[in-house]
């Protein structure tokens, strides 16, 4: 340890320690060590009910269960984001990740900039590791980082700059790292030693490093984080290990997931066994939880009937602020200090609370954080959460949204006591749930508890101002309208349905009904974009809009005029139209394509109807929304708004890249 550099802060840490008032004797078991070792295990994408002690219906995780038997299970633990990077920032800093402009996953520089995100967590952010390091702890991080570095970001601080003596990460971080593919961009970013292994070997490699670190620091105190990449998908188990699950599930994705989950359980067991064998069990706090809910890619719904990973009683999954995205399993084991075999079903705790809580166990001060010290709860004294908890994820920042459109949540949420309000910044899609009576978030009480909902909206407004997010606190709270899903850029997106009749996958429109998707959620049009619109239709009247986004300055539309299909693009106030042949009665398929360069093509029933060249670049995003079955304001084509469609629409797909 390079002591001279850290000497002043080390001394300050000791000074803090000495001046701290001693906790009351009755709050602390006599055997409770004052500077325990801390092992923090943070699983990637593990659902609430993936460990069998939290309700896995098909697979047993005996080693994780043993940890729970010997420790405390919290049934109401939340992460502060339904996606990796911000969730990791919260558990690392004790602060809401929005404070550091990390509201979604960190990606390439261009993609981060586009979403108003930082490229990495600033090295000056407060961290548990730095506080404990200053207090004399040996510190280390092994496994997934994803708080900066990777892709084309080669100037992120090294993980050691956040207070870790030793680190080894994966492709989403710098410093020493283990990769699985030599073609991975991280292999060429420099800033650390790179080694390779098979995907199914990663977790055992990180566990090896953790065990080696613990052996070297067995006299303590140490703080080590094991952040496995498993059970994030794609699930790539050791060849041959998925077959045993064929009798349990026919879903091949689930077979692979179960094999990876079982292998992860084995590694957790290996680590815990090592702690016990070293005789440091009573001096070591082990915390186990997950960074967000289980995967929800569209492919699982398209190829098999459901994605792998269980959320138990909770609705929603990864990328969603419904409970299934943020409500995760939590275990703490610390024999003699944390009660063994206890289940706390009432106390709420969250990722931002870990820093003040772990520091409290270590006797280190952690002032000025968003999180609160919940060490009392972990010592077996259930207590109400002292303030509201807030979340922000979603449009316009997120990009990644659940594959099942019903799982797509509003972008803000607050929980206070038993109540949770989910709401968009403009008040739309508001939902108010009583989580004790309705943990599955089925019964929206927005109307019957309007005053309470308004109060919670004000609290979100105040929090948004504090962390630097835009939110309209005065907006009218509007409950979600019954939706209709459309495939947009490969994802099912639920559009608000204003009067359309749904018949299987068809949408029947009567000339007075339409679907809409607000401008925040509508596809990004700015720049030189390729557009592909496809589907089928039957027009009962000879005119009407099938779909339209934008207006006469920037936009695209497909409409029927005088019994012909018309594809129209507006760019820089210039309108270009491509008209198809006379339509016969009945169903027709269509495909309308515009290349990045502006070349338009139209096919009706598979027959090309011609090409035209238009302007290549959209100057910006249009101010109006995407509508199906009408163009409500500012017409894209030569028609009067709303030019509502009367007929049937099927299999509509929009791709804008």
Summarize as ranges the residues that interact with Ca ion (CB under 5 A). Answer: 44-45, 84, 291-292, 551, 624, 631, 634
**Residue 512 beta carbon to Ca ion: minimum distance, rounded to whole angstroms:** 18
Distance CA 652, CA 473 (A): 35
In sequence order, what are the residues at sequence separation of 6 or more whose Cβ sits closer than 8 angstroms to the Cβ of residue 464?
A: 392, 412, 425, 470, 471, 473
Furthest C-alpha separation in the chain? 88
Degrees, nearest 5: CA angle 230-182-258: 20
Which CB sits closer to Ca ion, 220 or 622? 622
Q: Which two tokens stand for residue 282?
A: 């009573």
Per DSSP, the residues of 455-510 read HHHHHHHHHHHHHT----TTSPP-PPPPEEEEEETTEEEEEEEESPEEETTEEEEE
CA distance 231 to 254: 12
| CA distance to 42, 58, 176, 253, 255, per residue, from 308 (Å) | 19, 11, 31, 6, 9
For β-strands 166-168 and 574-582, DSSP reports them as unpaired
Calpha distance 462→324 (Å, rounded): 26
Residue nearest to Ca ion according to CB distances in the complex: 84
Cβ distance to Ca ion smaller for residue 323 or 624: 624
**Rounded to an integer, what is the distance from CA 377 to the centroid of its chain?**
27
Minimum distance from CB of 604 to Ca ion (Å)?
Answer: 23
Residue 84 vs 352, nearer CB to Ca ion: 84
Tell me the DSSP string of 354-413: HHHHHHHHHT----S-SS---HHHHTT-----SS-EEEE--TTT-----SSGGGPPPSEE
Taking the least distance from each CB to Ca ion, the nearer of 604 and 630 is 630
Residue 555: CB minimum distance to Ca ion, A:
6
CB-wise, 194 or 641, nearer to Ca ion?
641
Phi, psi of 209 (to 5 degrees): -60, -40
Q: C-beta of 462: minimal distance to Ca ion in Å?
A: 29
User: Whole-number minimum distance, CB 456 to Ca ion, in Å?
Assistant: 27
Q: Which is nearer to Ca ion, 44 or 165 (CB)?
A: 44
Nearer to Ca ion, 227 or 463 (CB): 227
Q: Give me the numbers of helices (H) and strands (E) for the chain, helices first please.
A: 12, 29
Query: Least distance to Ca ion from the beta carbon of 170, Å?
Result: 12
CB atoms within 10 A of CB 69: 14
Which residues 6+ apart lie within 8 Å of 276 measured at CB?
none
As a whole number of angstroms, the distance between CA 578 and CA 533 comes to: 14
**Closer Cβ to Ca ion, 119 or 624, answer by number:** 624
Q: With respect to Ca ion, which residue has the nearer C-beta, 84 or 102?
A: 84
Cβ-based neighbours of 524, under 8 Å, separated by 6 or more: 621, 656
Dist. CA 431–CA 446, nearest whole Å: 6
Q: Which is nearer to Ca ion, 267 or 643 (CB)?
A: 643
Q: How far apart are CA 356 and CA 95, in angstroms?
A: 10
User: Which of residues 364 and 517 has its CB atom nearest to Ca ion in the complex?
Assistant: 517
Quick check: 514 and 499 in contact, CB under 8 A?
Answer: yes
Q: Is 549 in contact with 534 (CB distance < 8 Å)?
A: no
Give, rounded to a whole angstrom, the gap between the first and last alpha carbons of the chain: 50
Tell me the closest approach of the beta carbon of residue 628 to Ca ion, in angstroms: 12
Q: Which residues contact 218 (CB under 8 A, 6 or more apart)?
A: 278, 280
Taking the complex as a whole, how short is the minimal distance between the CB of residue 83 and Ca ion, in angstroms?
6
- Residue 104 or 207 with smaller CB distance to Ca ion: 104
Closer Cβ to Ca ion, 281 or 519, answer by number: 519
Beta 483-488 vs 646-656: how paired, if at all?
parallel
Nearest approach in angstroms of CB 633 to Ca ion is: 5
Q: Which CB atom, from 130 or from 144, has the smaller least distance to Ca ion?
A: 144
Q: For Ca ion, which is the closer residue by CB, 80 or 375? A: 80
Question: Closest approach of Cβ 540 to Ca ion, in Å?
Answer: 23
Minimum gap (Å) between residue 119 Cβ and Ca ion: 19
Cα distances (angstroms) measured from residue 627 to each of 25, 513, 521, 545: 65, 11, 12, 9
Q: Write down the least CB distance from residue 55 to Ca ion, Å.
A: 20
DSSP 291: S
Strand bridging mode 389-392 / 412-416: antiparallel
C-alpha to C-alpha distance for 485 and 500, rounded to whole angstroms: 12
């Amino acid at each position: 340890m390079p002591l001279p550099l850290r000497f002043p802060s080390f001394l300050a840490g000791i000074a803090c320690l000495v001046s701290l008032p001693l906790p009351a004797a009755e709050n602390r078991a006599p055997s409770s060590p004052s500077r325990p070792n801390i092992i923090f295990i943070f699983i990637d994408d593990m659902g609430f009910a993936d460990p069998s002690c939290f309700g896995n219906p098909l697979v047993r995780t005996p080693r994780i269960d043993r940890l729970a038997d010997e420790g405390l299970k919290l049934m109401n633990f939340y992460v502060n984001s339904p996606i990796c990077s911000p969730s990791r920032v919260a558990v690392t800093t004790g602060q809401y990740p929005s404070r550091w402009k990390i509201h979604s996953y960190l990606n390439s520089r261009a993609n981060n900039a586009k979403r108003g995100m930082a490229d990495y967590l600033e090295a000056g952010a407060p961290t548990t590791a730095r506080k404990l390091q200053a207090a004399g702890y040996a510190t280390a991080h092994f496994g997934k980082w994803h708080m900066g570095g990777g892709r084309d970001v080669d100037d992120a601080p090294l993980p050691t700059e956040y207070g870790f003596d030793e680190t080894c990460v994966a492709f989403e971080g710098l410093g020493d790292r283990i990769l699985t593919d030599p073609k991975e961009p991280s292999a060429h970013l420099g800033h650390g030693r790179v080694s390779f292994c098979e995907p199914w070997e990663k977790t055992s490699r990180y566990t090896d490093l953790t065990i080696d670190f613990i052996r070297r620091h067995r006299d303590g105190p140490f703080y080590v984080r094991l952040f496995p990449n498993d059970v994030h998908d794609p699930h790539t188990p050791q060849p041959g290990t998925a077959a045993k699950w064929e009798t349990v599930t026919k879903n091949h994705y689930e077979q692979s997931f179960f094999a990876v989950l079982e292998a992860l359980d084995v590694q957790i067991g290996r680590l815990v066994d090592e702690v016990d064998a070293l005789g440091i069990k009573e001096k070591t706090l082990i915390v186990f939880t997950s960074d967000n809910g289980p995967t929800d890619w569209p492919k699982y719904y398209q190829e098999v009937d459901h994605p792998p990973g269980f959320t138990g009683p909770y609705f929603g999954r990864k990328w969603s602020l419904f409970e299934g995205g943020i409500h995760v399993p939590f275990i703490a084991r610390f024999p003699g200090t944390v009660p063994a075999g206890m289940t706390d079903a009432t106390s709420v705790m969250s990722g931002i609370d870990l820093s003040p809580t772990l520091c409290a166990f270590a006797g280190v001060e952690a002032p000025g954080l968003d999180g609160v010290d919940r060490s009392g709860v972990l010592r077996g004294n259930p207590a109400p959460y002292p303030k509201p908890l807030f979340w922000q994820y979603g449009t316009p920042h997120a990009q990644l949204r659940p594959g099942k459109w019903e799982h797509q949540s509003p972008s803000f949420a607050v929980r206070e006591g038993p109540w949770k309000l989910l709401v968009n910044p403009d008040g739309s899609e508001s939902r108010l749930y009583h989580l004790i009576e309705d943990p599955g978030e089925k019964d929206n009480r927005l109307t019957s508890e309007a005053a309470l909902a308004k109060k919670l909206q004000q609290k979100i407004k105040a929090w948004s101002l504090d962390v630097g997010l835009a939110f309209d606190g005065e907006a009218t709270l509007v409950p979600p309208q019954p939706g209709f899903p459309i495939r947009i850029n490969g994802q099912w997106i639920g559009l608000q349905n204003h009067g359309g009749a749904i018949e299987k996958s068809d949408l029947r429109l009567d000339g007075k009904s339409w679907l809409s998707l607000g401008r925040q959620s509508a596809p990004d049009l700015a720049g030189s974009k390729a557009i592909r619109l496809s589907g089928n239709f039957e027009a009962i009247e000879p005119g009407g809009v099938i779909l339209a986004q934008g207006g006469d300055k920037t936009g695209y539309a497909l409409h029927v005029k005088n019994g012909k299909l018309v594809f129209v693009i507006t760019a820089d106030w210039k309108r270009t139209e491509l008209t198809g042949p006379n339509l016969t009665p009945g169903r027709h398929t269509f495909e309308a394509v515009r290349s990045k360069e502006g070349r338009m093509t139209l096919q009706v029933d598979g027959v090309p109807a011609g090409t035209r060249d238009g302007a290549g670049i959209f100057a910006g995003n249009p101010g109006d929304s995407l509508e199906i079955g009408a163009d409500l304001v500012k017409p894209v084509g030569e028609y009067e708004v709303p030019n509502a469609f009367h007929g049937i629409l099927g299999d509509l797909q929009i791709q804008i890249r």
